[in-house]
Amino acid sequence: MAKIQSLEDLLESPYYPRDDRQLDAAKKAIGKALPRKLRSRAMPKRLKSDVQWLSTVLAEDRWRKRKGVDAIVAAGLLYLLNGKDAIPDKTQVIGYFDDSVVIDVVIRSIQIGVAK
């Protein structure tokens, strides 16, 4: 399981789609699994809100023109959906902490990239 604390970690992780074929497969997997994950009552509301926003970013074509934004978002969402992450989501109270860190890395990366 990959420990992700920075954008570099995410880009080197197995979650990051390396080509268009992998990105399309990632988008399909995310579209299928994300609605169920978002129904989790254990997921903090703020994380849920951020994940919903990222899923809309992934679906919008305009973000593809921004240097790999869709691939970075896909990698973050795939990490969230993976059941074997650093802290299992079923662990009470802190189960979503690692997911929150990764989603925060993704959002900050988008903000920095768009601001340039």
pLDDT, one tens digit for every residue, the chain (116 residues):
567 888 898 999 999 999 989 999 999 999 999 999 999 998 999 999 999 999 999 988 777 666 688 999 999 999 999 877 777 788 877 888 989 999 999 999 888 765 45
Q: What is the largest CA-CA distance in the chain?
A: 39
The separation between CA 58 and the C-alpha centre of its own chain, rounded to angstroms, equals 10
Q: How far is residue 77's CA from residue 75's CA, in Å, rounded to a whole number?
A: 6
pLDDT of residue 66: 67
Which pTM value belongs to this model? Answer: 0.89
Ordered by start, the domain boundaries in the chain are: 18-115
pLDDT of residue 3: 75
Q: Which residue has the tokens 């992998």?
A: 22
pLDDT of residue 92: 75
Distances (CA, A) of 110 to 15, 30, 39, 83, 92: 17, 19, 25, 25, 30
